[in-house]
Amino acid sequence: MKIVWASPPNLVYDQTPHYFQALFSAGAVYLRSRFPDHEVVTEAAGFHGSFQRVILRHFACHSTAEYLVVWARPWEAHAARDLASQVKQLSPSTKVLVWGEACSYFPHYFERQPFDLYAVNGDPELVIADAIEAMERGEQPVHGVVFSQDGKWHYTEKGEVLAPEFWGFPDLEAIDPSVYQYWRMQRGQKVDDLSFAVSRGCPINCARWCPTPRKEGTVDRRRSARDTVEYMKRLPEPYTMFQMHSPLFCMDREWVREFISLKAQACPETPFKVVDLMNPYADERLVAELSEVGMKNVGFGVETLSAKGRHMIPKMEPSLLEKVAANLQKYGVSSKAYVQMGLPGQKREDILYTFKVLMDLGLKPRPTGSTPFWKLAKMTVEELDQTDLTKWDRKTYYEPRIGLSYREFMAIVHDPVGFLANSEELLQWAA
């Protein structure tokens, strides 16, 4: 049996490698562990900018693959369908399975030919592996998927989650490091991060625009601190830092304490960065201890502040922000404060005010467009077919309602500090 684990060819400006390493390639690693006597090929065409033929060649030779598993995020849905159609033309017996955020946000898009199955919930690598195993036995899949059989679509039980000791680590062959560096330079980044899954799930569940609770659930689940540190003992070339793939790195304080203690013994110098809520970093001792064991950067969602004290989601306390900024500066930890442009109820003044507050505190803003994927859920399949989903990527999606011109939006996305340093409105606010 041969399984092709692929991302469809569909380049976007913001090719985030973390997801390809921690989700996509690690998912293939898990499938290999489940089918050790079979071939699992990865084709990260969506990252490499490859031609569709790089994937199609696995279906045109004498030993065609039995399964194509396609990773589809919302902006890749059309590319996934086109790839699936081409594969079915070449190899009608191949089963086409699809997973990813597009399946969570607008599952109905995939409930038609040429797809045979889509993953809806549970951990995707587990539900897909179980579904393939069931189909190989001539049985029906039982959890986490919707599948087609005898011209009907069948719904299974809720998807199960995978115990953290079975979470894969990245397949370093799946992403070409030279292509990784190329995209990193295109995006103006300076550091090559190697991302791997540390935790999944978010109990905060604070905003409908956030895909994490929807796709990973609302329970914080973690790889053991020991396995995490063991993996971090060796940082392979060309990577210069680990990126801890986790929605809320410090959510489990007991785990964090154990991580700090183990890392201090094993590899205190190995640098890493995290993504988290902002709140834990108001604790000076925690920041000090994490920086002592190599933490170099914290990314956290500010999303938006309100210029006039209106209630915005999520609610953010500026005094807490001050404390966090002071702690990070004191211990030499850089920051990435995520700001979204286009949130419900947000106005131009809120966006500019947010940037002003962040810059005054010495925090580095990381602005993106806010992509309202929930709107896609309400569209018909025909409407989805006619919508240019490639524009629903976070560095491209522009919402005129917020009162920024398209030029301003693009300037902020590409050079927030330069734009904001020269913004007359901000200078007036500062005066």
Quick one: which segment of 153-161, 204-212, 233-241, 254-262 binds ligand SF4 (CB under 6 A)?
204-212
Candidate list 11, 172, 207, 326; residue touching ligand SF4; CB under 6 A: 207
Site for ligand SF4 in 294-313 (CB under 6 A): 301
Q: Give the separation between CA 412 and CA 419, rounded to whole angstroms.
A: 6
- What is the number of other CB atoms lying within 10 angstroms of the CB of residue 359? 18
Q: Which residues pair with residue 295 across a beta bridge?
A: 272
Quick one: which segment of 59-67, 210-218, 260-268, 397-405 binds ligand SF4 (CB under 6 A)?
210-218
User: Least distance from C-beta 304 to ligand SF4, angstroms?
Assistant: 12
Candidate list 212, 228, 306, 371; residue touching ligand SF4; CB under 6 A: 212
Q: Among residues 70 and 324, whose Cβ is nearest to ligand SF4?
A: 324
Q: Which x/- pattern, by CB under 6 A, does the window 247-266 give for ligand SF4? A: x-------------------
Q: Give the separation between CA 310 and CA 337, rounded to whole angstroms.
A: 20
Question: Could you please report the per-residue DSSP string of 239-260?
Answer: --EEEEE-S-TTSSHHHHHHHH
Quick one: which segment of 1-9, 110-118, 199-207, 230-238 binds ligand SF4 (CB under 6 A)?
199-207
Q: Which x/- pattern, by CB under 6 A, does the window 132-171 give for ligand SF4? A: ----------------------------------------
From the DSSP assignment, how many helices (H) and strands (E) are in the chain?
Answer: 19, 15
41: DSSP letter? E
Quick one: which segment of 6-14, 61-69, 184-192, 207-215 binds ligand SF4 (CB under 6 A)?
207-215
Q: Give the separation between CA 354 and CA 357, rounded to whole angstroms.
A: 5
User: Least distance from C-beta 318 to ligand SF4, angstroms?
Assistant: 18
Compute CA distances 336 → 39, 118, 233, 300, whole Å.
40, 34, 25, 6
User: Least distance from C-beta 369 to ligand SF4, angstroms?
Assistant: 16
Q: Which x/- pattern, by CB under 6 A, does the window 317-346 give for ligand SF4? A: ------------------------------
| Residue 213 near ligand SF4 by CB under 6 A | yes
Q: Among residues 179 and 210, whose Cβ is nearest to ligand SF4?
A: 210
Do 286 and 257 contact (CB within 8 A), yes or no?
Answer: no
| Residue 370 near ligand SF4 by CB under 6 A | no
Q: Among residues 218 and 265, whose Cβ is nearest to ligand SF4?
A: 218
Per-residue tokens: 375:
């709107």
Quick one: which segment of 45-53, 208-216, 364-372, 422-430 binds ligand SF4 (CB under 6 A)?
208-216
User: Least distance from C-beta 314 to ligand SF4, angstroms?
Assistant: 6
Candidate list 90, 142, 204, 377; residue touching ligand SF4; CB under 6 A: 204
User: Least distance from C-beta 257 to ligand SF4, angstroms?
Assistant: 21
User: Least distance from C-beta 17 to ligand SF4, angstroms?
Assistant: 19
Question: Which of these, 100, 33, 42, 102, lies nearest to 67 by C-alpha position?
Answer: 42
Q: Among residues 147 and 373, whose Cβ is nearest to ligand SF4?
A: 373
Compute CA distances 332 → 289, 296, 325, whole Å.
12, 7, 11
Q: Among residues 70 and 277, whose Cβ is nearest to ligand SF4?
A: 277
Quick one: which segment of 26-34, 202-210, 352-360, 368-376 binds ligand SF4 (CB under 6 A)?
202-210
User: Least distance from C-beta 193 to ligand SF4, angstroms?
Assistant: 19
Compute CA distances 227 → 196, 218, 251, 263, 405, whole Å.
12, 23, 18, 11, 48
Region of 82 on the Ramachandran plot (φ > 0 left; ψ -120 to 50 alpha; else beta):
alpha
User: Least distance from C-beta 264 to ligand SF4, angstroms?
Assistant: 28
Q: How far is CA 124 from the centre of its chain?
A: 14
User: Least distance from C-beta 249 to ligand SF4, angstroms?
Assistant: 11
Question: Which of these, 50, 100, 107, 42, lies nearest to 68 by C-alpha position?
Answer: 42
- What is the number of other CB atoms lying within 10 angstroms of the CB of residue 360? 13
Candidate list 90, 210, 241, 410; residue touching ligand SF4; CB under 6 A: 210
Do 21 and 196 contact (CB within 8 A), yes or no?
Answer: yes
What lies within 8 Å, CB to CB, of 201 at 6+ separation is: 212, 213, 216, 217, 218, 219, 220, 221, 247
Candidate list 202, 232, 286, 357; residue touching ligand SF4; CB under 6 A: 202
Q: Give the separation between CA 222 and CA 183, rounded to whole angstroms.
A: 29
Helix, strand or coil for residue 32?
A: helix
Residues lying near ligand SF4 in the complex (CB under 6 A): 202, 204-207, 210, 212-213, 247, 277, 301
